[in-house]
Amino acid sequence: MRAALVFLPILALTACATPREQCISGATRDVRILRMLITEVEGNIARGYALAEEQEIRTRPRMCRDEEADGSVDRYICNAVDTVTVTRPQAIDLQAEQAKLDSLRERLATAEPAANQTVAQCIATHPE
Protein backbone atom coordinates (compact mmCIF):
# COMPACT_ATOMS: atom_id res chain seq x y z
CA MET A 1 0.00 0.00 0.00
CA ARG A 2 2.77 2.39 0.93
CA ALA A 3 4.49 1.82 -2.43
CA ALA A 4 1.32 2.69 -4.25
CA LEU A 5 1.07 5.96 -2.34
CA VAL A 6 4.68 6.77 -3.11
CA PHE A 7 4.38 6.13 -6.84
CA LEU A 8 0.99 7.77 -7.36
CA PRO A 9 2.42 11.33 -7.55
CA ILE A 10 5.21 10.06 -9.79
CA LEU A 11 2.66 8.57 -12.16
CA ALA A 12 0.76 11.86 -12.22
CA LEU A 13 3.94 13.77 -13.03
CA THR A 14 5.04 11.36 -15.76
CA ALA A 15 1.77 12.02 -17.58
CA CYS A 16 2.98 15.61 -18.11
CA ALA A 17 6.62 14.71 -18.72
CA THR A 18 8.50 15.10 -21.96
CA PRO A 19 9.35 11.96 -23.97
CA ARG A 20 12.92 12.19 -22.67
CA GLU A 21 11.76 12.39 -19.04
CA GLN A 22 9.34 9.50 -19.59
CA CYS A 23 12.13 7.40 -21.10
CA ILE A 24 14.51 8.15 -18.21
CA SER A 25 11.77 7.49 -15.65
CA GLY A 26 11.04 4.11 -17.19
CA ALA A 27 14.73 3.25 -17.38
CA THR A 28 15.34 4.03 -13.70
CA ARG A 29 12.11 2.54 -12.31
CA ASP A 30 13.67 -0.74 -11.14
CA VAL A 31 16.60 1.08 -9.50
CA ARG A 32 14.21 3.38 -7.59
CA ILE A 33 12.15 0.41 -6.39
CA LEU A 34 15.23 -1.53 -5.31
CA ARG A 35 16.53 1.48 -3.35
CA MET A 36 13.16 1.91 -1.67
CA LEU A 37 13.09 -1.77 -0.69
CA ILE A 38 16.67 -1.62 0.60
CA THR A 39 15.78 1.36 2.79
CA GLU A 40 12.75 -0.47 4.17
CA VAL A 41 14.71 -3.66 4.94
CA GLU A 42 17.54 -1.67 6.56
CA GLY A 43 14.95 0.02 8.79
CA ASN A 44 13.46 -3.37 9.71
CA ILE A 45 16.88 -4.71 10.68
CA ALA A 46 17.73 -1.57 12.70
CA ARG A 47 14.40 -1.74 14.59
CA GLY A 48 14.37 -5.51 14.96
CA TYR A 49 10.82 -5.72 13.62
CA ALA A 50 8.86 -4.72 10.54
CA LEU A 51 5.99 -2.26 10.32
CA ALA A 52 2.82 -3.61 8.72
CA GLU A 53 0.05 -1.29 7.60
CA GLU A 54 -3.49 -2.56 8.02
CA GLN A 55 -6.79 -0.93 7.32
CA GLU A 56 -9.47 -0.94 10.00
CA ILE A 57 -13.09 -0.09 9.51
CA ARG A 58 -14.50 1.95 12.37
CA THR A 59 -18.02 3.17 12.93
CA ARG A 60 -19.06 6.23 14.88
CA PRO A 61 -22.48 7.65 15.64
CA ARG A 62 -23.57 10.84 13.89
CA MET A 63 -26.73 12.78 13.21
CA CYS A 64 -28.46 12.04 9.93
CA ARG A 65 -31.46 13.76 8.42
CA ASP A 66 -34.08 13.03 5.82
CA GLU A 67 -36.18 15.70 4.19
CA GLU A 68 -39.74 14.67 3.67
CA ALA A 69 -41.88 15.66 0.67
CA ASP A 70 -43.88 18.07 2.84
CA GLY A 71 -40.69 19.97 3.76
CA SER A 72 -40.31 18.56 7.26
CA VAL A 73 -36.94 17.22 8.37
CA ASP A 74 -36.58 13.92 10.19
CA ARG A 75 -33.40 13.69 12.31
CA TYR A 76 -32.02 10.46 13.71
CA ILE A 77 -28.76 8.89 14.85
CA CYS A 78 -26.95 6.75 12.28
CA ASN A 79 -23.47 5.28 11.91
CA ALA A 80 -20.70 6.84 9.85
CA VAL A 81 -18.09 4.42 8.53
CA ASP A 82 -14.42 5.44 8.47
CA THR A 83 -11.50 3.48 7.07
CA VAL A 84 -8.32 4.09 9.06
CA THR A 85 -4.80 2.88 8.23
CA VAL A 86 -3.01 1.56 11.32
CA THR A 87 0.69 0.70 11.52
CA ARG A 88 1.53 -2.29 13.71
CA PRO A 89 4.82 -3.97 14.58
CA GLN A 90 5.38 -7.37 12.98
CA ALA A 91 7.90 -9.99 14.04
CA ILE A 92 10.63 -10.81 11.51
CA ASP A 93 13.48 -13.29 11.17
CA LEU A 94 16.57 -11.07 11.30
CA GLN A 95 18.72 -13.59 9.42
CA ALA A 96 16.15 -13.82 6.63
CA GLU A 97 15.96 -10.00 6.49
CA GLN A 98 19.76 -9.80 6.24
CA ALA A 99 19.72 -12.35 3.41
CA LYS A 100 16.99 -10.31 1.69
CA LEU A 101 19.08 -7.15 2.09
CA ASP A 102 22.15 -8.83 0.62
CA SER A 103 20.09 -10.08 -2.33
CA LEU A 104 18.58 -6.64 -2.96
CA ARG A 105 22.01 -5.01 -2.88
CA GLU A 106 23.33 -7.55 -5.42
CA ARG A 107 20.37 -6.88 -7.70
CA LEU A 108 20.91 -3.13 -7.37
CA ALA A 109 24.57 -3.52 -8.30
CA THR A 110 23.55 -5.22 -11.56
CA ALA A 111 20.53 -2.99 -12.25
CA GLU A 112 22.34 0.37 -11.92
CA PRO A 113 24.77 -0.08 -14.83
CA ALA A 114 21.96 -1.30 -17.09
CA ALA A 115 19.79 1.66 -16.08
CA ASN A 116 22.65 4.10 -16.68
CA GLN A 117 23.17 2.68 -20.15
CA THR A 118 19.46 2.97 -20.94
CA VAL A 119 19.41 6.56 -19.63
CA ALA A 120 22.29 7.40 -21.97
CA GLN A 121 20.26 5.93 -24.85
CA CYS A 122 17.24 8.00 -23.79
CA ILE A 123 19.34 11.17 -23.83
CA ALA A 124 20.75 10.32 -27.25
CA THR A 125 17.31 9.47 -28.65
CA HIS A 126 15.48 12.47 -27.14
CA PRO A 127 17.84 15.47 -27.04
CA GLU A 128 16.26 18.57 -25.54
Can you give the pLDDT at residue 123?
87
Can you give the pLDDT at residue 127?
80
Tell me: the pLDDT tens digits for 6-17?
A: 555 655 555 678
Residues 78, 59 contacting (CB under 8 angstroms): no
Q: Provide the whole-model pTM.
A: 0.68
Interatomic CA distance for residues 108 and 22, integer angstroms: 21
Confidence at 4, pLDDT banded by 50, 70, 90: low
Confidence at 109, pLDDT banded by 50, 70, 90: very high
Interatomic CA distance for residues 34 and 104, integer angstroms: 7
Tell me: the pLDDT tens digits for 51-106?
A: 999 999 999 999 998 888 888 888 999 999 999 999 999 999 999 999 999 999 99
Task: Give every CB contact of residue 91 below 8 A, 6+ residues apart in sequence.
Answer: 49, 50
CA-based max dimension of the chain: 73
Interatomic CA distance for residues 38 and 53, integer angstroms: 18
Residues 76, 64 contacting (CB under 8 angstroms): yes
